[in-house]
Structure 1
Amino acid sequence: MFKQTLWVAILGAAFAAAYGTAAAQSAAKKSAGLSPNCTASAPVRDYLVTVGEWDTVPKDREGKAVAYNDRGFARTANSKLERYNFDPSVIIVKRGDCVNLRIHDLKGSHHNVTIEATEIGSESAALIDDAGKVTGKAVARANPNAFEGPEKLKAGEFVRGEQVMFRFQANRPGTYRMICEVHTFVGPKGELRGYDDKGKPVQGPMVAYITVLP
């Protein structure tokens, strides 16, 4: 009985180690798909993405404003519905490209950007003006827009009117999700959704996609 238990324990440990190694290798492989450092010979591509929360009033087929349900909350007619989005929501690059990604917050108190399973995102990214001049970094700081509240910004967050810019090299073909974590609820299995485990409505995901072609 003791030997059988020992063998089960050994096999279990071996399986766990193998699974952990495979998971780590998979994560490392995906992370290497986009590198924060560009080689000197890589062709440089510049992209601009705007972020915001666009208001709309739901209407029926006749164009009349109607009441609606927003994540479990009843809204009366003429109530504005916010839609969180990146524009454009899909960026297409080629393998080997060095991408300069500029993101401009046109609307919404604050946002951040992270590309899932990679080291790429707005944390400590350069804050720039319209001419591309660096004015600071997206680090933890006080909100410069006092009218939006006194809460302190977390690392990587930028506010309405600000732009961040970061770069990466596309090393491996595939599709990578770019998200704003301010507007995202992550479920227990890593899924993005609009309700928590108790059915309470929360903010839905704000997602864009970066597709790397061969």
Structure 2
Amino acid sequence: MSRVWIVKRKHLYQIAAALVLILIGWLYMNRGSIVPTLAEPTAERTIHMVVGEFKSTTADGKTIEAYRWDPGSVAVKKGEHIKLSIYGVNGDSHPFFIEGMNISGEVKKGKETIVHFTANQAGTYRLICMTHTDMAHNGPMIGYIDVN
């Protein structure tokens, strides 16, 4: 003996509505694990820089050189957690500070220097090498951190 289930259209709509409500409830309860939010970033972003040098000889045989941060400018979002990794390629020592951020350090040839900061205020902050401050000292060696 077999049974035949007869479902009226009205009951089919009620079952479908119940399933939709269950799905909506499940999605709501699990929204943080499924859909990324637009909350403030918590992960630290690494920015890599190097110390580079331009070197040339003038027509009269004089050697000229200039040091620089490469890249010379980086963009950072306000509130972003940053790990700034600077590798010394040229020059023995580059003591530096980031103007307006109370950050300083030194980059040495063949070594990596890492500084961490959170960009809390919008603006442009200069990364200044204290050895290469002007043309007389093969500079100015200035990089820019643009916080938007």
Specify if TM > 0.5: yes
Structure 2, unpaired ranges of 5+: 1-39
| 1:134-165 C-alpha deviation (Å, 9 max, x unpaired) | xxxxxxxxxxxxxxxxxxxxxxx342101110
Is the CA contact (8 Å cut-off) linking 1:43 and 1:96 kept in structure 2? no
For the structure 1 residues 82 and 202, does the alpha-carbon distance in structure 2 shift closer, same or farther, using more than 3 Å as the test? Answer: closer
Say whether residues 1:108 and 2:91 are aligned partners.
yes
| 1:78-112 C-alpha deviation (Å, 9 max, x unpaired) | x3311110100001010111000000010111112
Offset, 1:202: 5.0
1:178 equivalent in structure 2: 127
**Amino acid of the structure 2 residue aligned with 1:112:** P
2:67 equivalent in structure 1: 84
> CA separation in 1, counterparts of 2:132 and 2:78?
30
**SS of the residue aligned with 2:144?**
strand
**Amino acid of the structure 2 residue aligned with 1:174:** G
Say whether residues 1:57 and 2:57 are aligned partners.
yes
1:205 equivalent in structure 2: 140
Is the CA contact (8 Å cut-off) linking 2:81 and 2:116 kept in structure 1? yes
Matching residue within 161, 164, 188 for 2:113: 164
**SS of the residue aligned with 2:86?**
strand
Offset, 1:56: 2.0
> CA separation in 2, counterparts of 1:158 and 1:43?
25
> CA separation in 2, counterparts of 1:55 and 1:202?
13
2:21 equivalent in structure 1: none
- Structure-2-length-normalised TM-score: 0.66
Offset, 1:55: 1.2
For the structure 1 residues 212 and 41, does the alpha-carbon distance in structure 2 shift closer, same or farther, using more than 3 Å as the test? Answer: closer
For the structure 1 residues 204 and 83, does the alpha-carbon distance in structure 2 shift closer, same or farther, using more than 3 Å as the test? Answer: closer
> CA separation in 2, counterparts of 1:177 and 1:49?
14
**Amino acid of the structure 2 residue aligned with 1:56:** S
**SS of the residue aligned with 1:205?**
coil
Offset, 1:203: 4.8
* Number of residue pairs matched by the alignment: 109
**SS of the residue aligned with 1:112?**
strand
> CA separation in 1, counterparts of 2:127 and 2:72?
9
Q: Which ranges of 4 or more aligned residues in structure 1 deviate by more than 4 Å?
A: none
> CA separation in 1, counterparts of 2:137 and 2:112?
27
> CA separation in 1, counterparts of 2:86 and 2:57?
27
1:113-128 to structure 2, matched below 5 A, reads 113-122=96-105
Q: CA RMSD in A?
A: 2.0
> CA separation in 2, counterparts of 1:116 and 1:179?
7
Report sequence identity in percent.
Answer: 34
Offset, 1:176: 0.5
- Structure-1-length-normalised TM-score: 0.47
Give the structure with higher Rg (CA). Answer: 2
| 1:2-31 C-alpha deviation (Å, 9 max, x unpaired) | xxxxxxxxxxxxxxxxxxxxxxxxxxxxxx
